[in-house]
């Protein structure tokens, strides 16, 4: 049986009713990977043997009536989440042969719910990038146009879902790394509230910004997968012991009584006209669904978010990546002295974007510059958090574009880091504020996807999902599938 393309919800029903077995479903997706991955390059590692073993176990559980809603459903994991005994590279030469001795917390949860891992996805090296061109292994291509980027850093996860190589995927989001590729690939992607999902076993980039979240085909699937991965974890000191609701219960088809704000600062100078047109149509749809929309919202510190992010994130990266010294694990360069070995290990193990961010961060933290750069950025971060808090006293959610542009050509921005960094201008403030947000398909222009971002109050993923579901049910964008 080949090319079964289903959502989590559909797969769960088919498996429960025994119309298809998990082995058949898994074989179908592995065959799809064999058919298309040579063109889109979404996966770093294909775990076919493990997948079939997990599928067999899932079928046994289904046979005795001991299956959950995600039992036997194929999933892809971004390659910066530790998987015991399976290569975890972060798409870097530094970790190209690293075999973790343990599973990340989210991987444990996926296994506990008897999902089937079919592979690990490509990414920008150590999650530093907005296009998945910074992978040390290969460039991932957007399935809607193979000459264009899929976004980043979770580009491989977004492409795997969009191209039908998996039912769903996990990604990580430090400045937009789930939402921006979701927008570029026309899938659903959520960055939960900071602390909602355990970061234990996630290879750190910027620890105060990183968060793991789901990438799925529709909003219902997003709620189902968030149900699995959310929750407190004592191994992650930033994990928050907030109760986790059943997110599927908030999926309602109308928006009566909801107040939505549209912050003008997110409609930046240089935004493509087509993106603005799609957003205008989407906002009108939200109004027709019963929402009260205010288009005159202002978050005046938003323009500073880009500068704040590119001080804070590289500073944390500089500290986190100091552990890659060629001594304990990972790539090691043999040399005559310890200092030469350390220098050459980092020179040859890290790619240019990672080196650039380490140098930026080391500079910002250095004596004489700490107060001028890092401390000042932390103060502006506080102002951005306060602005979100004030906005959410008045509005239930905020509506913005996911990205100011459609997917750009591969190679178009690689020589201009600043233009590349601007790709995340709509998503960065959310990580700085620690609030939840998601991207959903909102339209196309010339066959290229455009995403809408919905931002919510801390630990109020339910309202975001409610808005997203109502919009999705009233539109057809999520049903449009790509031919690869």
CB within 8 Å of 322: residues ≥ 6 apart: none
Structure tokens at 211: 């968060």
Q: Mean pLDDT across the chain, nearest whole number?
A: 96
Average pLDDT, integer, range 145-156 = 98
Higher pLDDT, residue 328 or 288:
288
pLDDT band at residue 2 using 50, 70 and 90 as cut-offs? low
CATH number of the domain at 358, please: 3.90.1300.10
**Ramachandran quadrant class, 41 (left: phi over 0; alpha: psi -120 to 50; beta: rest):** left
Active-site hit among 21, 22, 28, 78: 78
CB within 8 Å of 242: residues ≥ 6 apart: 195, 196, 232, 459
- Please choose, from the candidates 139, 308, 124, the residue with its C-alpha nearest in 3D space to the C-alpha of residue 203: 124
The residue range of the domain holding 223 is 1-484
- Indicate if 22 belongs to the active site: no
User: Which residues are bridge partners to 250 per DSSP?
Assistant: none
Active-site hit among 92, 153, 154, 172: 153
Tens digits of residue pLDDT in 29-40: 999 999 999 999
Q: How far is CA 366 from CA 311, 340, 411, in A?
A: 12, 22, 33
- Indicate if 177 belongs to the active site: yes
For residue 4, pLDDT over 90 is answered with no
**Ramachandran quadrant class, 454 (left: phi over 0; alpha: psi -120 to 50; beta: rest):** beta
Average pLDDT, integer, range 78-87 = 98
Pairing of strands 188-191, 397-401: unpaired
pLDDT of residue 421: 78
Measured CA to CA, the distance from residue 392 to residue 395 in angstroms comes to 5
Average pLDDT, integer, range 183-195 = 98
Measured CA to CA, the distance from residue 131 to residue 154 in angstroms comes to 9
Active-site hit among 177, 239, 315, 403: 177
Number of domains forming the structure of the chain:
1
Average pLDDT, integer, range 102-128 = 98
CB 355 within 8 A of CB 311: no
Q: CA 104, 106, 108, 114 torsion: positive or negative?
A: negative
pLDDT of residue 89: 98
Residue linked to tokens 């599927």:
248
For residue 179, pLDDT over 80 is answered with yes
User: What's the number of CA atoms in the CB half-sphere (13 Å) around residue 10?
Assistant: 10
Measured CA to CA, the distance from residue 354 to residue 128 in angstroms comes to 7
CB 126 within 8 A of CB 207: no
For residue 196, pLDDT over 60 is answered with yes
CB within 8 Å of 144: residues ≥ 6 apart: 162, 185, 186, 407, 447, 448, 449, 482
pLDDT band at residue 368 using 50, 70 and 90 as cut-offs? confident
Tens digits of residue pLDDT in 217-266: 999 999 999 999 999 999 999 999 999 999 999 999 999 999 999 999 99
Measured CA to CA, the distance from residue 159 to residue 184 in angstroms comes to 9
User: What's the number of CA atoms in the CB half-sphere (13 Å) around residue 464?
Assistant: 29
DSSP per position, 279-331: HHHHHHHHHHTT-EEEEEE--TTGGGHHHHHHHHHHHHHHHHGGG-SSSSSS-
For residue 342, pLDDT over 90 is answered with no
- Indicate if 57 belongs to the active site: no
For residue 299, pLDDT over 60 is answered with yes
Tens digits of residue pLDDT in 434-474: 999 999 999 999 999 999 999 999 999 999 999 999 999 99
């Amino acid at each position: 049986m080949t090319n079964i393309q289903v959502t989590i919800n559909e797969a769960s029903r088919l498996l429960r009713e025994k119309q298809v077995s998990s082995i058949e479903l898994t074989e179908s997706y592995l065959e799809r990977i064999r058919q298309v991955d040579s063109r889109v390059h979404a996966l770093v590692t294909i775990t076919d043997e493990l997948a079939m073993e997990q599928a067999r176990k899932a079928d046994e559980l289904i046979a005795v009536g001991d299956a959950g809603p995600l039992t036997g459903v194929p999933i892809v994991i971004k390659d910066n989440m530790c998987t015991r005994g399976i290569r975890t590279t972060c798409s870097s030469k530094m970790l190209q042969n690293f075999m973790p001795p343990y599973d990340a917390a989210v991987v444990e949860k996926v296994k506990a719910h008897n999902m089937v891992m079919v592979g690990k996805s490509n990414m920008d090296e150590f999650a530093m990038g907005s296009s998945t061109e910074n992978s040390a292994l290969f460039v991932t291509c957007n399935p809607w146009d193979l000459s264009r980027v899929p976004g980043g850093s979770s580009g491989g996860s977004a492409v795997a879902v969009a191209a039908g190589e998996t039912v769903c995927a996990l990604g990580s989001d430090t400045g937009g790394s789930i939402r921006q590729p979701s927008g570029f690939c026309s899938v659903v992607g959520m960055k939960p509230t900071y602390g909602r999902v355990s970061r234990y076993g996630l290879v750190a980039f910027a620890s105060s910004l990183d968060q793991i979240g789901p990438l799925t085909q529709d909003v219902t699937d997003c709620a189902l997968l968030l149900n699995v991965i959310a929750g407190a974890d004592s191994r992650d000191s930033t994990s928050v012991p907030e109760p986790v609701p059943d997110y599927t219960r908030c999926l309602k088809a109308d928006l009566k009584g909801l107040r939505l704000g549209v912050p003008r600062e997110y409609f930046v100078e240089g935004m493509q006209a087509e993106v603005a047109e799609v957003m205008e149509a989407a906002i009108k749809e939200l109004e027709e669904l019963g929402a009260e929309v205010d288009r005159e919202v202002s978050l005046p510190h938003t323009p500073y978010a880009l500068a704040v992010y590119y001080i804070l994130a590289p500073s944390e990266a500089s500290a986190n990546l100091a552990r890659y010294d060629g001594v304990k694990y990972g790539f090691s360069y043999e040399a005559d002295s310890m200092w030469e070995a350390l220098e050459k290990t980092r020179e040859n193990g890290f790619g240019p974007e990672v080196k650039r961010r380490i140098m930026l961060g080391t500079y910002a933290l250095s004596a004489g510059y700490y107060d001028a750069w890092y401390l000042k950025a932390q103060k502006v971060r506080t102002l951005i958090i306060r602005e979100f808090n004030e906005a959410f006293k008045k509005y239930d959610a905020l509506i913005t574009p996911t990205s100011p542009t459609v997917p750009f050509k591969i190679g178009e921005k690689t020589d201009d880091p600043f233009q590349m960094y601007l790709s995340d201008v709509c998503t960065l403030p959310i990580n700085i504020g620690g609030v939840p947000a998601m991207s959903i398909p909102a339209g196309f222009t010339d066959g290229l996807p455009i995403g809408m971002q919905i931002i919510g109050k801390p630990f109020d993923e339910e309202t975001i999902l409610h808005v997203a579901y109502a919009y999705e049910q009233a539109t057809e964008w999520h049903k449009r599938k790509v031919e690869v």
